[in-house]
Structure 1
């Protein structure tokens, strides 16, 4: 089990949360709290960088959905970046690849035109 670490930084499009470790039943509340502490402006995009995510269970998926809901409530968008293959597979199986905007990496997710569907990652 890898401890969860969440690092926040700003990009031109809005905040980027780098999530490292395991996102599970025990740590999902940490992600929820980190997102709740953010102030998102309408038109911004919250990016969750999952490049260093080791494990994500159903509680972690629920926390990702909560982050998306909070961003939407504040008039912001949300994108996932660098989704690991095992998590991407789960998102695809349950149809959440159609709910989340997913990018290959943070630079694509924070590009000004990343709302363009051609910038999105295809989950296989």
Structure 2
């Protein structure tokens, strides 16, 4: 098991969370806690860079959905950036590739690529 590491920085578009390690049942509460502490404002976009994720289970997917709900409540948007192929496959199977804005690595939230990331 690789512990989840989350780094946070502010960008002109909004907060950026970079995840690495495993996002599983034991680690998902930490992501939810950090998202809850963000100062999201209307019109911003929370970008979650998942390029460093080595594993993501259903608890991790639920944490992404919780982050999306938090963003929507703040009248902000959320995007997943640099989604690894294995996670993209899961998101696609359950239809979440249509729910989340998907960005390439280092992507600009103003220019989502959507399904072009496959």
> Would you say same fold, with TM above 0.5?
yes
Instruction: Tell me the TM-score range normalised by the shorter chain.
Output: over 0.9
TM-score, normalised via structure 1 length: 0.90
Distance verdict in 2 for CA 1:54–1:3, change over 3 Å: same
**Structure 2 CA distance for aligned equivalents of residues 24 and 88 of structure 1:** 16
Partner of 2:22: 22
Partner of 1:88: 88
Could you tell me which residue of structure 1 aligns to residue 116 of structure 2?
122
C-alpha contact (below 8 Å) 1:8/1:16 kept by paired residues: yes
TM-score of the aligned structures, taking structure 2 as reference length? 0.95
Q: How many corresponding residue pairs?
A: 118
Query: Is contact 1:47–1:80 with CA below 8 Å preserved after alignment?
Result: yes
- Unaligned runs of at least 5 residues, structure 1: none
- Counterpart residue number, 2:108: 109
What are the within-5 Å matches in structure 2 for residues 26-105 of structure 1? 26-105=26-105
Deviation at 1:122, TM superposition (A): 2.5
> How many Å separate the matches in 2 of 1:32 and 1:114?
26
> RMSD in angstroms over aligned alpha carbons?
1.2
